[in-house]
Each structure stands twice: as structure tokens, then as C-alpha cells.
């Protein structure tokens, strides 16, 4: 076992983790910052983001407009003070990225170009072709190299936290290349471990997106907030789930059912917009939850086509022409060709909804701090309260920056305030105890002599988990299926106790890592399912099928769900929402908006 | 249902167990869309949980999954079984990336590439924005200025070009195609002023002049970066910068006389 001491520890090397590490390191160059990640930073799933990052940019745009879009898009479950802070700081962060070399796409006059995005009133999404996340991640990683006080621990898998009565004390990590356990002490720790999309079968996420950080914080008593809100992206490729960016609709792509009909007009998103004239908040530029739900209805009515085993609808880009597609959506052309053998210039792309984003996460206050002093969370693993019941596309890349910086600065301040605190005996004793638990646990997993012949492998349990989540916790939900899924998850947790792994080695034991990830995923899945069961209303990405629950119910449920781990079980509570700046209104898109506004005496 | 299968053989090596790497054969189900990575994942989850390899995004953007397929460097997630013609006697062979040290099975030591990448100072230099406060305004960059370096900014750090480069095979100190492409990306960026800081490494014996212009690096690059072009343009830059050095040097000497 090796021990290390740092001022600040960042867990995760995605967009959020890198931004936080840079902020902490540049706040004070005498602070020593450690950044741990289970993959090399540029492999983090931020790399897959295609579409762009939102910030108020044009003269005809305003903070108020971005605020309204975000709050309404989140069906009034966003923390409004947090949204307000976010919209005011996003632009400066994107400018900072520009100065660090991010290759943003440009207008002919050299200014950064902005594009349309679903649910946004006006063009405010910065983009770098259709590889925005890739370019942001590489820019941040490369920029981080300038800071000698950031020390990277690449391919270190964080297992646990060390805490004492004054708050956080450090983390325990497994060095993947050797199998050795390390204890890293620090008085400020930032979790930036990303989402949990891989708990569902069909998703747009990378294999590493297993909810580790959420489960680790949760097991230490930090609540997971708003976990029932899981965003489906309407356009994933059948089979793999690989994402076809929303920007392809922003640029004018249209959705067709098997009869070549633009079916979205039947779901309160019309009237049909002319080909080549996409209109913000209409038709294909409606919000993601509505579009995914429309797919479900088309599927129920037998109006979807087939691609292999999958029911699909079609994204038609042909009218945009080869030249435009190759310039603006080159990656989409490459992906469609490689993974479904379709050239978008010539044929519509078969697509279907896929789980994409976890709106909920580790609960923090508006300053990114959790209920454990000195433990911060940021990015997709966190719930700072920005997205409410549904995230608007292109808000989360900006979130990584705005709150990554905030978390980094807060952590730096905390580290300085606690600089003289010694890692006293209690903390050392705690870390010893936690370390011993993990050593036993790993030895237990490897001990095949005690294997129950009926026990299943982690791979089988994982398959069962992702299948039950898709069946019971999908685009539409109802009591009986949720109940069944919750029971299945609990049975899988019990079965997990008997799991053994084959691989007995220390070096790159991915059998062991996947097995531990599954345990994290099971915790996260249980929280998602429990919150989905208890939220007996429909709001944003959470839609219930029972006739009496298909509407939003502010009287009972204008509240965040909080799931905590107490006395070895998941417990649900409710928390009030900050609606101090904008009273809950109706979420409407397409011409429905105008009608509703007229009904309300024209107020927007 | 009649499932077709394909035979593949995969390098196995555990430093804790094996003296030498060896090949192990597996039969995996196959359809038109099965990628090399899908095949490995099938083995891991259904046949042999002890096989180790890297992957994450499965969409050719994270750069984790480079392997040799029948001797050619490929991204496992962007290469497909259907592209290989084979019989039970000639399985598809999957090996770790050439020219890197093997850590285990298909996993190589990526630090051997990333050290070079980090050495070329791949970040904007001389823009003076390193203050704790945020800059107020974005700089201007025309689409033409952007397109000068854009292609070289598309590198996903997969290391395939290193596995293709005979010079890197002979001399691991060679900065190599990917890192040189990245240095070139920043040298060409209208916002950067760091070229003079990057040139000494590129001018050195392990820099651009190590390249004998085989060009295989560009053939195998999955992202169309064309690192060979960067190396070649780097040679022109290097020749210029060395001439300038020489000129400055002789001037200096002249002044001292
Ligand atoms: C395909 C796709 C496209 C998207 N497009 C957009 C878009 O256009 N615009 C937008 O705003 N948003 C988009 N999003 C959402 C956005 O990209 C993500 O929410 C965001 O990138 C998450 O960043 P992150 O830093 O929080 O996490 P990640 O980038 O996922 O990074 C997580 C990090 O944590 C590390 N980690 C995790 N567990 C452990 C552990 N146990 N030990 C050590 N390290 C660990 C990982 O190694 C990794 O470094 C998209 C998402 C997807 C999936
Ligand atoms: S230049 Fe191409 S082959 Fe080389 S590391 Fe970059 S993306 Fe990979
Ligand atoms: S898995 Fe990411 S590039 Fe292949």
C-alpha cells in the first residue's frame, strides 16, 4: 500500500474534472492537485459529445431567455438561483476555452459561430464541427499540461472515500496497472466521475459510464437527487446506441416514420416546418423528451420501420446536400457509414431513442459542495440543480466549465483553510479500516474455492440489470413494472454477494474492475427505480402511463427526490425546489406555445 | 436461429504468469455489424473473463482500442469481422499494438507515446491568458486560419501511427508522428506564439529528421490526420529554423570577434 498527500484531489479526468483541476491549480500554484481517472483523461466520455455548448452570445439574446429555456425545459424542477448563475457565467467560460485553443467553428468574419439547438429559443450553441466534446476535452487535457502542480494518476480506479467528523479526508484507489491499493489524503476532494447511462441496455454512453462516483458518495450518506430523470436521446443508431447529434436536426434534418411522414406534427410540435427551414422549438427542434415519447407512440401504432432487430424511424438529411453535410456534419457521415452502412447524402439514417444523460446525481449546494464538508461534486455525476426534470442539449458541456471552475476554486479555498490540519490518527485508522475492507472484498471476489456452483457471473448479472432497467424504467413507466424492476434489482444485489471472478492477477485485472463497477451500477439503478416509483406524476423526462398520472402535479411533486443509503437500505425523501425567480408555468412547444400564451393574456 | 461464427486468435500475456506471449483461439458469433471490439467483448462476457484490453466509446473517438488486426494497426471498434475473409484454418489475428511494450494481453504501455505528446508543449503559448480571472473576449480566427490546422487537431491519440512507424520501432525516443502532428497543429494556429519553444525538440535527432518518410502512419490513421504531412511540413520548418539559428550563430560569432 502506498500513501500520498495532496491539497486537492479530483476524481475524474473528463471535462468537469479537468476544468476543476485547472481552476484549483491556477487559484494557487503552491497547492498540489492530484487528478485520478480510471482511463487516460482524453478517453473520458466527454470526448463523445458532438453538438455543442450553450451560452448567451448574440446581441438579440439575453440571460433571461437562456434562463427561461432552461427552467421551462427542466419542467420547473431546476434550482433557479443555480440556473441564473449558470447563464451569466457560461459565455466567459467558452471564451476562456477559445483562448486555450479550442477550435470553435467560425463565421466568415472570424467570430465564433453559434448554432440552433433543441429547446433553445435562439441560436446560442458554440460548436467545433460535430466533435465539440472531443475538442473541448483535448483542449482541456493539453492545457492542463501547463500546470506543474497538477499530478495525474491515469488508470487509477477510485474505490472509496475516507471521511472523519470534520469532513472529507481522502480517497482509496486501485492502480490498474499493478493491482496495488493506494491511500491519497486531501482536505478537499472533487468527484467528477460522469453519468450512469450504462445501467440501461440501450444507450449512447461509453463502457466506462457506470455511475461509480454516485454510488461511492451515496454509500457515504450523501443523497442522490432527482435520479428518476433519465434523458433518452431521440436519435441513437440501432444496435450500438451510438449518438447521431441533435445538431443534425438543428442544421435541418427531419424525422420520418416508415410511411415517410413527419410524424412530430401529430404530437403538439407542429405545424410542419418547410424542408430546409428548421424553426427553434418546432417539430424536430422540440425538446428531447417529447421527441423520444413521440417515437414510443409511433412504435405502439406500428408506424416504425425495422433495422435488424430494432424498431426505428428515419433521420433524413439528404436535402442538405453532400457539401454541407461533409463540412458541418463530417463525423455523422463517418458514423452512419461505419455502423449502419448508410451514406446520409443518399439515404435516411435509421435511428431510435437511447438512454443518454442522467439529470440527477450527487446532491450539492449551489457551490458544488455535498453534505460532507470538503467533498464537492461536479459534471454529470452531480446534481447542482441546473437541469431539473430534463436537460436541454448543449447546457451540460457549459455546465462542466462553469461549475468545474467553481468547484475547483471552492476546493482550493477549503484546502488552504485546512492546510494546517494534520492527518491525525483517527483518519489514518479510518483509512486502514476501509483499506482492509477492500482487501478482504477483493480477496473474496477472487476466492473461487467458495464459489456456489449456481452463482452467476458479473456479466450475466449486468445483462439482467440493463434489461430490467430498459423494460421497467424506460421512456414510459408504470407502477407494476417499476415495482417489478425494483424487486429484480434487489434480487440482483443479493445475487451479487455470490459473484466470483476468474481473473486472479494484479496487473490490468479488468474482470475485477467490471465486477466492482457492477456493484456501483446496482446501487445507482436502485435509486433511479425507487425515485421513479415514488414520483407519481409526469414531468419532463419522467412519464407515467397511469391515466391519473400523465400530468404534472405541482401540488404534490414540485419537489426534488432525494435517495439516501441509511441502515443498509435506500430511503426516499423530498426537498423543496427553488422557484424564487419564475413561477411554474406550462411547458409548451410548436404552435401550442402561441395558443397558451394567448390564453394567458400574452405573457411569454 | 442459425448463428454464424468466426474464428479469431488473440495474444495472451500476463507478466505474473507467462514467460512469453502466446495466441489463444476463440470462436465468436458474427453478423454484418460485428466489430473487432464486439468480438472481444463477446469473449470477455461469454467465454473468457480473463482477457484484458482497453475500450470505452465504441464510436472511434476516445482512442482507447487500438490493436493489430492481421498485422495492421486498427481501432477495434471501427474495424469489422465482415471485412476479413477467412476459414477455420486462418483465423483473424488480434495482437497488441506493435512497437509498444506489452503490459498484458492486448494492453500496451501508452505512456511511451504520451510522454512524447506532452513534450511538444501542445497548448497555446504566449497568449497571456493564464490569469485566474477569465478573459473578456474571444480572439478572431477566420475559417481559412482555422482550416490551416484543423485536420491536425483531429488526432484522437490512439497510437496507431506509432505502431505503423518503423522508425519508432527502432528508436523509441523518436517523438513520432502523432506528437509531431500535434506540435504542428499548434505551430499553425494563428493564436499561438510558441513555435520557437517547440522547434528545438523537432530539430533534434529524435525530432522530424528521424523520419525516413515511409508514410504508413498516414495510411493507418483512422481520423484522416495525415501525420506524415505534418512531419514533412515540420522538416521544412525545421530546416528554416536551423538556418536561422545558424545565421544568428555566425552573426553572434562575428560580433564577438
Ligand atoms: C454521445 C454523447 C453526446 C453528447 N453531446 C453533448 C452536447 O453536444 N452538448 C452537451 O452539452 N452535452 C452533451 N453530452 C453530455 C455531456 O457530454 C456529458 O454530460 C459530459 O461530457 C460529462 O462530463 P463529465 O466530466 O461529467 O464526465 P466524463 O467525461 O464522463 O468523465 C468522467 C471521468 O471520471 C472518471 N471516473 C469514473 N469513475 C471513476 C472511478 N471509479 N475511478 C476513477 N475515475 C473514474 C473517468 O475515467 C472519466 O475521466 C453528450 C453525451 C453523450 C454521451
Ligand atoms: S495521428 Fe492518427 S493514428 Fe496517430 S495517434 Fe493521431 S489519430 Fe491516431
Ligand atoms: S472504443 Fe473508443 S476509439 Fe474504439
Confidence at B249, pLDDT banded by 50, 70, 90: low
- Is the dihedral angle over the CA atoms A358, A362, A364, A367 positive or is it negative? negative
- Is the dihedral angle over the CA atoms A376, A381, A382, A386 positive or is it negative? positive
Q: How far is A499 from chain B (nearest CA, A)?
A: 13
Residue with cell 413527419: A262
Mean pLDDT calculated for residue range B228-234: 94
Residue with cell 426537498: A575
Per CATH, which fold does A234-351 belong to? Flavocytochrome C3; Chain A, domain 1 (3.90.700)
Residues in CB range of B213: below 8 A, 6 or more apart: B228, B231, B232
The ligand whose atoms approach the alpha carbon of A243 most closely is 1
pLDDT tens digits, one per residue of A279-317: 988 999 888 888 999 999 999 999 999 998 899 999 999
At residue A186, does pLDDT exceed 90?
A: yes
Confidence at A603, pLDDT banded by 50, 70, 90: very low
Among A73-77, A363-367, B130-134, whose mean pLDDT is lowest? B130-134
Q: Is A13 in the pocket of ligand 1 (CB under 6 A)?
A: yes
The ligand whose atoms approach the alpha carbon of A399 most closely is 1
Find the catalytic residue in A66, A124, A138, A249: A249
Residues in CB range of B23: below 8 A, 6 or more apart: B9, B10, B11, B12, B93
pLDDT tens digits, one per residue of B7-38: 999 999 999 999 999 999 999 999 888 999 99
Confidence at A189, pLDDT banded by 50, 70, 90: very high
Structural domains of chain B, with CATH? 5-107 (3.10.20.30), 110-248 (1.10.1060.10)
Angle between helices A425-446 and A510-534 (to 10 degrees): 100
Q: Is B181 in the pocket of ligand 2 (CB under 6 A)?
A: yes
For a pLDDT cut of 70, what percent of chain A falls above it?
98
Coil, strand or helix at A431 = helix
Residues of chain B contacting A94 with CB distance shorter than 8 Å: 138
Q: How far apart are the first and last CA of chain B?
A: 89
Confidence at A601, pLDDT banded by 50, 70, 90: very low
Cα B157 to middle of ligand 2, angstroms: 5
Is A260 designated active site?
no
C-alpha span between B164 and B161 (Å, rounded): 5
pLDDT of residue B136: 78
SS3 of A27-70: the string is HCCCCCEEEEECCCHHHCHHHHCCCCEECCCCCCCCHHHHHHHH
Per CATH, which fold does A456-544+561-576 belong to? Methane Monooxygenase Hydroxylase; Chain G, domain 1 (1.20.58)
Residue A93 and residue B60: Cβ atoms within 8 Å?
A: no
Mean pLDDT calculated for residue range A61-72: 96
Q: What is the ipTM of this complex?
A: 0.94
pLDDT tens digits, one per residue of A12-55: 999 999 999 999 999 999 999 999 999 999 999 999 999 999 99
Is A182 designated active site?
no
Question: Domain map of chain A by residue range?
Answer: 234-351, 456-544+561-576
Confidence at A420, pLDDT banded by 50, 70, 90: confident
pLDDT of residue B254: 46
Confidence at A119, pLDDT banded by 50, 70, 90: confident
**Position in ligand 1 atom list of the atom nearest CA A398:** 11
Higher pLDDT, A86 or A422: A86
pLDDT of residue B132: 56
Q: Within a 10 A sphere around the Cβ of A379, how many other Cβ atoms? A: 34
| Summary mean pLDDT of chain B | 92
Instruction: Record the pTM.
Output: 0.95
| Summary mean pLDDT of chain A | 94
pLDDT tens digits, one per residue of A488-543: 999 999 999 999 999 999 999 999 999 999 999 999 999 999 999 999 999 999 99
pLDDT tens digits, one per residue of B64-85: 999 999 999 999 999 999 999 8
Residue A503 and residue B49: Cβ atoms within 8 Å?
A: yes
C-alpha span between A569 and A480 (Å, rounded): 21
**Preferred mutation among A22, A90, A138, A154 to probe B, highest tally of B CBs within 10 A:** A138
pLDDT tens digits, one per residue of A124-149: 999 999 899 999 999 999 999 999 99
At residue A604, does pLDDT exceed 50?
A: no
Amino acid at each position: 500500500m502506498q500513501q500520498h498527500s495532496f491539497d486537492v484531489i479530483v476524481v475524474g479526468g473528463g471535462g468537469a474534472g479537468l476544468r476543476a483541476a485547472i481552476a484549483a491549480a491556477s487559484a494557487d500554484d503552491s497547492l498540489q492537485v492530484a487528478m485520478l481517472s480510471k482511463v487516460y483523461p482524453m478517453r473520458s466520455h466527454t470526448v463523445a459529445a458532438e453538438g455543442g455548448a450553450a451560452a448567451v452570445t448574440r446581441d438579440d439574446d439575453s440571460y433571461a431567455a437562456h434562463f427561461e429555456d432552461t427552467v421551462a425545459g427542466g419542467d420547473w424542477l431546476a434550482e433557479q438561483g443555480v440556473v441564473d448563475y449558470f447563464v451569466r457565467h457560461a459565455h466567459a467560460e467558452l471564451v476562456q476555452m477559445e483562448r486555450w485553443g479550442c477550435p470553435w467553428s467560425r463565421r466568415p468574419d472570424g467570430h465564433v459561430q453559434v448554432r440552433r439547438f433543441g429547446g433553445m429559443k435562439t441560436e446560442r450553441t458554440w460548436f467545433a464541427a460535430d466533435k465539440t466534446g472531443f475538442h473541448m476535452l483535448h483542449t482541456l487535457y493539453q492545457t492542463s499540461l501547463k500546470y506543474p502542480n497538477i499530478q495525474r494518476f491515469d488508470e487509477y480506479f477510485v474505490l472509496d472515500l475516507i471521511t472523519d467528523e470534520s469532513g472529507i479526508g481522502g480517497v482509496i484507489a486501485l492502480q490498474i496497472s499493478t493491482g496495488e491499493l493506494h491511500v491519497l489524503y486531501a482536505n478537499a476532494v472533487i468527484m467528477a466521475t460522469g453519468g450512469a447511462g450504462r445501467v440501461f441496455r440501450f444507450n449512447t454512453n461509453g463502457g466506462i459510464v457506470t455511475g461509480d462516483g454516485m454510488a461511492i458518495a451515496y454509500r457515504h450518506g450523501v443523497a442522490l437527487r432527482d435520479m428518476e430523470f433519465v434523458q433518452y436521446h431521440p436519435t441513437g443508431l440501432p444496435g450500438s446506441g451510438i449518438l447521431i447529434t441533435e445538431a443534425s436536426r438543428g442544421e435541418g434534418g427531419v424525422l420520418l416514420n416508415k410511411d415517410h411522414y413527419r410524424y412530430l406534427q401529430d404530437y403538439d410540435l407542429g405545424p410542419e416546418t418547410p424542408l430546409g427551414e428548421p424553426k427553434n422549438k418546432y417539430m424536430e427542434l422540440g425538446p428531447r423528451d417529447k421527441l423520444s415519447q413521440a417515437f414510443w407512440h409511433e412504435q405502439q401504432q406500428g408506424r416504425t420501420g425495422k433495422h435488424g432487430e430494432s424498431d426505428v424511424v428515419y433521420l433524413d438529411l439528404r436535402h442538405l446536400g453532400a457539401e454541407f453535410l461533409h463540412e458541418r456534419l463530417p463525423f455523422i457521415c463517418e458514423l452512419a457509414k461505419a455502423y449502419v452502412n448508410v451514406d446520409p447524402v443518399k439515404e435516411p439514417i435509421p435511428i431510435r431513442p437511447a438512454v443518454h444523460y442522467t439529470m440527477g446525481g450527487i446532491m450539492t449546494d449551489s457551490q458544488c459542495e455535498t453534505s460532507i464538508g470538503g467533498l464537492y461534486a461536479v459534471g454529470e455525476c452531480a446534481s447542482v440543480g441546473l437541469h431539473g426534470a430534463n436537460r436541454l442539449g448543449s447546457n451540460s458541456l457549459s455546465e462542466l466549465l462553469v461549475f468545474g471552475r467553481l468547484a475547483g476554486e471552492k476546493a482550493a479555498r477549503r484546502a488552504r483553510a485546512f492546510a494546517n490540519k494534520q492527518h491525525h490518527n483517527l483518519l489514518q485508522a479510518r483509512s486502514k479500516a476501509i483499506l482492509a475492507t477492500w482487501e478482504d472484498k477483493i480477496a473474496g471476489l477472487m476466492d473461487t474455492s467458495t464459489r456456489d456452483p449456481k452463482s452467476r457471473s458479473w456479466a450475466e448479472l449486468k445483462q439482467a440489470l440493463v434489461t430490467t432497467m430498459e423494460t421497467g424504467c424506460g421512456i414510459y413507466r408504470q407502477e407494476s413494472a417499476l415495482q417489478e424492476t425494483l424487486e429484480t434489482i434487489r434480487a440482483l444485489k443479493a445475487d451479487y454477494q455470490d459473484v466470483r471472478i476468474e481473473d486472479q492477477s494484479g496487473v490490468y485485472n479488468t474482470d475485477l474492475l467490471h465486477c466492482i463497477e457492477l456493484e456501483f451500477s446496482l446501487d445507482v439503478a436502485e435509486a433511479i427505480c425507487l425515485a421513479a416509483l415514488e414520483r407519481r406524476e409526469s414531468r419532463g423526462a419522467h412519464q407515467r402511463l397511469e391515466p391519473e398520472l400523465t400530468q404534472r402535479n405541482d401540488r404534490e411533486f414540485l419537489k426534488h427526490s432525494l435517495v439516501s443509503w441509511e441502515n443498509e437500505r435506500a430511503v426516499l425523501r423530498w426537498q423543496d425546489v427553488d422557484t424564487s425567480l419564475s413561477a411554474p408555468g406550462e411547458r409548451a412547444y410548436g404552435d401550442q406555445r402561441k395558443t397558451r400564451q394567448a390564453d394567458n393574456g400574452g405573457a411569454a | 436461429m442459425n448463428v454464424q461464427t468466426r474464428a479469431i486468435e488473440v495474444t495472451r500475456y500476463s507478466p505474473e504468469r507467462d514467460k512469453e506471449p502466446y495466441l489463444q483461439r476463440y470462436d465468436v458469433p458474427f453478423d454484418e455489424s460485428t466489430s473487432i471490439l464486439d468480438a472481444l467483448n463477446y469473449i470477455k462476457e461469454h467465454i473468457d473473463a480473463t482477457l484484458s484490453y482497453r475500450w470505452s466509446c465504441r464510436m472511434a473517438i476516445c482512442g482507447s482500442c487500438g490493436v493489430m488486426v492481421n498485422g495492421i494497426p486498427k481501432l477495434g471498434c471501427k474495424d469489422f469481422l465482415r471485412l476479413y475473409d477467412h476459414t477455420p484454418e486462418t483465423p483473424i489475428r488480434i495482437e497488441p499494438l506493435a512497437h509498444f511494450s506489452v503490459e498484458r494481453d492486448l494492453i500496451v504501455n501508452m505512456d511511451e507515446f504520451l510522454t512524447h505528446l506532452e513534450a511538444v508543449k501542445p497548448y497555446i503559448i504566449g497568449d497571456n491568458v493564464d490569469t485566474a480571472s477569465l478573459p473578456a473576449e474571444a480572439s478572431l480566427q477566420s475559417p481559412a486560419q482555422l482550416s490551416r490546422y484543423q485536420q491536425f487537431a483531429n488526432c484522437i491519440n490512439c497510437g496507431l501511427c506509432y505502431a505503423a512507424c518503423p522508425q519508432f520501432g527502432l528508436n523509441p525516443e523518436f517523438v513520432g508522428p502523432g506528437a509531431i502532428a500535434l506540435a504542428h497543429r499548434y505551430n499553425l494556429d494563428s493564436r499561438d506564439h510558441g513555435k520557437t519553444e517547440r522547434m528545438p525538440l523537432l530539430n533534434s535527432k529524435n525530432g522530424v529528421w528521424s523520419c525516413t518518410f515511409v508514410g504508413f502512419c498516414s495510411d493507418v490513421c483512422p481520423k484522416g490526420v495525415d501525420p506524415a504531412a505534418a512531419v514533412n511540413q515540420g522538416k521544412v520548418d525545421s530546416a528554416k529554423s536551423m538556418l536561422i539559428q545558424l545565421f544568428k550563430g555566425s552573426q553572434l560569432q562575428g560580433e564577438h570577434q
